[in-house]
Structure 1
Amino acid sequence: MIKSLNGYFVIFINIFVQNKFMQLVKVGLCAFGMSGKVFHAPFLKEHPGFFISAIVERTKQESKEQYSDATIYRSVGEMLEQADIDLVVVNTPVQTHFEYTKMALEAGKNVVVEKPFTVNVTEAEELVRLAEEKGLFVSVYQNRRFDRDYLQVQKIISEGQLGNIKEAEIRFDRFRTTASGKAHKENPEAVGSGSLHDLGSHLVDQAVQYFGFPEKLFADVFSMKGNEFANDYFEIILFYQNDLRVRLKSSVFTKEAHYAYAVHGDKGSFLQERSDDQENELVAGAIPTYGEDWTQPLKEADGILNYINENSETKRMFTSSEPGNYMNYYQQIYEFIVFGYALPSPAEEVIKNMKIIDAAWESSQKGQIITL
């Protein structure tokens, strides 16, 4: 039985009925580190609508073993000048996102840029203006929108069983008490380093997707490991006009996991574990399959739903989320390029996230509530 993702099967049946050959989108990767190896290259290789034409590796040739058809370039500038590509993936450290995305747009290329979009909202707004002037698109790779746990919470909220949402908490915790050696993430002098930009870009994005843009916020951001490290802890309280409060929190001193999502309404509550394992499976060597679910099935329930039904009866049940799939992101990119469908996480939308991140930093520095 053929399973479809986002209408894959129907879409491509329509292509063949119309006697059209699948358009091939040629892609250049700006780096071949962990992000390129795990989150981008495997999906682009397995998707029949993309071809990895170019990869930037400054000194090595690690990509040759798996991506032998791609030409290796030694700099982003060299790739943009010489490679025959339609789409550029900016998957380099956040401190370079503005520079490389701007270079790609000025070279006439569409761009997928890793999260966080940029180090501040000023840079983000300039890139959006440039893309509009050039008639090109910039999409921010918010891959956690395709996690099974995020999608399950979205489903529960949309079904309305919790009633009017009054409070929610979204967490992304880790237990990493020593240095990772990644200066672009841990050096406190590097603008855009630290958990607020790294993990915060996911939590902020999810809060905005679930509940919209808040009215104001208060934040506490600092480094639990000490001042020689960039921030590794944050707590952000988002205030909404309808008296909703949303708390976003992350810590690297969390040995025992909390529920990643807790949503409370006037008819019930929902608790959801962070259960998506795509990243770990990809790191372990899993190959994503196009057109069907490829992740390992859950071994047990990953959520608890407790609510009052229409008969005023309390129902408490364990829930299991459906598989997530990062392939859906690139499928949506392809559908936008070829069919003009909706662009996933367009840059002009993600500017809202950057405004919240900037305001969270300001709030923590001043110890004040910031109006958005």
Structure 2
Amino acid sequence: MEKLTIAYIGFGKSTTRYHLPYVLNRPTIKVKSIYARSEKPEEADFSEYGIEFVRSIDAILDDPAIQLVVICTPPNSHFDYAMQVLNSGKHVLVEKPFSWTKQEAKEIFSLANEKGLIAMPYQNRRFDSDYLALLQAMADERMGQVVELESHFDRFRPQYDLPLADYQSGAFYGLGVHLIDQVVALFGAPDRVSYDIRSIRNPENKQDDYFDIQLFYPTFKAIVKCNHLVVAGAPRWQLLAQSGSFKKLEIDRQELDLKARLWPKDEGFGLDRTEDYGTLYFKDAEDGPLTTEALPTPEGDYGRVYDNLYDVVYKGADKLVSDEDALTVIEILENGMKDLS
């Protein structure tokens, strides 16, 4: 099997936690090199995989064997690095957020299209197990038309030790980018959006830790929320439809297992406990009995982003995240920041 040869720019938590554990177990991917400015102890953890650690970005950009470069650096560098990678003739996958502005994203896609290359944001949470469960619930014909969808990403982190920074360094750009992308992937661009974005732990800091975003569609709305002062959180997903509902309390377990230094190859990685399954609720009539069904949680797998990229490069498949979806998400984020400035 022909392998997709890739390299990384950046060797922080994003690379070591959310990328390498998945790609190093995939027979379709070869990680050739990683750029890090200086040597890090973590490099020893990956020595058995034959990865070359380089101290110059040019060592990656000038390497003809590398087909795709993954950018896992601070967000303010994403645009510049993406343009460099594309100008070197390589495909590019960019960690979230893809760019600060819609205009930057359009420039990246324009250059990629001009050169016949792939540029795509790393929206790994399209393969969260809880999101895949939601997709299964929505596919159930008994549900009927969607009335409202609510998505929560709540935490309890009362200690506030973030340095003063700009608006784009907060939870909306960092987490909202995923929640909004999940909605856009389902329903496309909304007709209009309302915003409530704040810092509740320290109002003097521009870094938001709370948002409540409502995305309006012709016959329903989707709500995405995040709050860093929630002891007992709301359901991760609550779907209301004409004849049924779906509720799932717990979020995907992949991140939790990765933080515990487990890898996708480990037994039980990312799998929900039975008690964490979502629940389907149905009524045949207003005065009919309520029936409930547990919905087993599908297996999440962030590495499926790379499966898609392999299929795009070698099989001509469509990109997981279309340019249109990516631009819609960035526009929603950017407009939310304009409301704060």
TM-score by length of 1: 0.84
Alignment map for 1:285-300 (pairs within 5 Å): 285-289=261-265, 294-300=269-275
2:280 aligns to what SS in structure 1?
A: strand
Q: Label 1:204 to 1:297 Cα distance change in 2 as closer, same or farther (>3 A).
A: closer
Structure 1: distance between partners of 2:321 and 2:313: 14
The residue type equivalent to 2:280 in the other structure is L
Whether 1:63 aligns to 2:43 is yes
Tell me what 1:305 maps to. Answer: 280
Structure 1: distance between partners of 2:276 and 2:44: 41
Structure 1: distance between partners of 2:119 and 2:168: 20
Instruction: Note the C-alpha offset of 1:93.
Output: 1.4
Alignment map for 1:108-147 (pairs within 5 Å): 108-147=89-128
Match 1:88 to one of 39, 59, 69? 69
Instruction: Note the C-alpha offset of 1:229.
Output: 4.7
Overall identity of the aligned pairs, in %: 30
1:217 aligns to what SS in structure 2?
A: strand
1:53 aligns to what SS in structure 2?
A: strand
Structure 1: distance between partners of 2:295 and 2:130: 11
1:289 aligns to what SS in structure 2?
A: coil
Instruction: Note the C-alpha offset of 1:84.
Output: 3.5
The residue type equivalent to 1:335 in the other structure is D
Match 1:36 to one of 8, 12, 15? 15
More divergent stretch after superposition (204-213 vs 88-97): 204-213
The residue type equivalent to 1:343 in the other structure is K
Tell me what 1:50 maps to. Answer: 29
Instruction: Note the C-alpha offset of 1:77.
Output: 4.1
Q: Label 1:67 to 1:41 Cα distance change in 2 as closer, same or farther (>3 A).
A: farther
Instruction: Note the C-alpha offset of 1:283.
Output: 2.3
Superposed CA offset, 1:15-64 (max 9, x none): xxxxxxx1122111111111111111122211111111111111124324
More divergent stretch after superposition (301-310 vs 105-114): 301-310
Instruction: Note the C-alpha offset of 1:195.
Output: 0.8
Superposed CA offset, 1:117-137 (max 9, x none): 111111111101111011100
Superposed CA offset, 1:149-202 (max 9, x none): 001111111223221111111111111223465xxxx6433x631111111001
Report how many aligned residue pairs link the two structures.
Answer: 337
More divergent stretch after superposition (58-67 vs 100-109): 58-67
Instruction: Note the C-alpha offset of 1:308.
Output: 2.1
Whether 1:315 aligns to 2:278 is no
Instruction: Give the conservation status (yes or no) of the 8 Å contact 1:53–1:83.
Output: no
Tell me how large the CA RMSD over aligned residues is.
2.3
Structure 1: distance between partners of 2:120 and 2:161: 28
2:154 aligns to what SS in structure 1?
A: coil
Instruction: Give the conservation status (yes or no) of the 8 Å contact 2:184–2:325.
Output: no
Structure 2: distance between partners of 1:102 and 1:271: 42
Whether 1:333 aligns to 2:309 is yes
Structure 2: distance between partners of 1:225 and 1:84: 48
Structure 2: distance between partners of 1:251 and 1:356: 19
The residue type equivalent to 1:204 in the other structure is I
Instruction: Note the C-alpha offset of 1:81.
Output: 3.2
The residue type equivalent to 2:126 in the other structure is R
TM-score by length of 2: 0.91
Structure 2: distance between partners of 1:306 and 1:348: 34
Match 2:224 to one of 236, 248, 260? 248
Instruction: Give the conservation status (yes or no) of the 8 Å contact 1:161–1:268.
Output: yes
Q: Label 1:180 to 1:140 Cα distance change in 2 as closer, same or farther (>3 A).
A: farther
Whether 1:262 aligns to 2:238 is yes
Tell me what 1:236 maps to. Answer: 213
